[in-house]
Structure 1
Amino acid sequence: MSYPFEYGDETLWDAGYHSGQLYRFLAQGAAEFLDVPSGLTPTPQGGCAVDREVFQGFVQRLYDLSASSSNEVLRSLAHDLLVTSLVLLDRSGGTVALRPEDATPIGEATSALARSMAS
């Protein structure tokens, strides 16, 4: 059973059911912590619709938190959620502004993860 993340008629990620649900709940919790909407809306078919503009704002705030924190635990907790979110955002045609020193390591992590995320 899958848990697709869709932007319009396009499937951005055809996640496994448990992976998809866990990602959605983690993103929702992070969005609440950041006091912004996530841009992810559960669908009656058992997946998530992605509102790219809202989701882009969420991902930017998540990156900004991670990039501005000196707390290694906070940065680590945010990292995998951020990388997964960047794959979805990229597939929807959205982007976030990264600091030059973060562009290569985050880009490499995002590319590596994207290869394992079926679309």
Structure 2
Amino acid sequence: MSYPYELGGETLWEAGYHSGRLYASLARGAAEFVKLPTGLTPTPQGSCDIELSTFRAFVQGLYTLYSSTSSLVIHGLARGLLVTSLVLLERAGAPITLKPEHEEALREEKAAFARSMG
């Protein structure tokens, strides 16, 4: 069973059911914290539609939180959600700009995540 993330009928991530639902849950919690909507809408068919401009703003807000602190706890809590979101944005053709001090490490993690996200 899967939980696909779709943009305009194109599947950006054919997530496994559990990983897809966990990602959506984490995004909802982070959205509440950064006070931005996620742009992710579950469908009755068991997938998740992405509204790109809203999702991009959410990921930018998440990255702003991540990049504005040196807290290892916040970095650790936010990193998996952020990296997964960055992969989805890249697949949608709408990446955000990362600060030079984060670019290399996040690029390596994005590549690793992208391979495991199929």
RMSD in angstroms over aligned alpha carbons? 0.7
- After TM superposition, the score normalised by the length of structure 1 is 0.96
Moved over 3 A (4+): none
Quote how far apart the aligned CAs of 1:43 are. Answer: 0.6
Instruction: Work out the CA distance in 1 between the residues paired with 2:18 and 2:72.
Output: 27
Percent identical pairs in the alignment equals 57
Instruction: Work out the CA distance in 2 between the residues paired with 1:32 and 1:93.
Output: 26
**Corresponding residue of 2:90:** 90
Question: How many equivalent residue pairs?
Answer: 118
Q: Which runs of 5+ in 1 are unaligned?
A: none
Instruction: Please tell me the residue identity of whatever aligns with 1:93.
Output: G
Q: Which runs of 5+ in 2 are unaligned?
A: none
1:36-88 C-alpha deviation (Å, 9 max, x unpaired): 00010001100100011110001011111011112110111001110001111
Instruction: Please tell me the residue identity of whatever aligns with 1:71.
Output: S
Pairing of 1:1-119 with structure 2 (within 5 A):
1-118=1-118
Instruction: Work out the CA distance in 2 between the residues paired with 1:22 and 1:30.
Output: 12
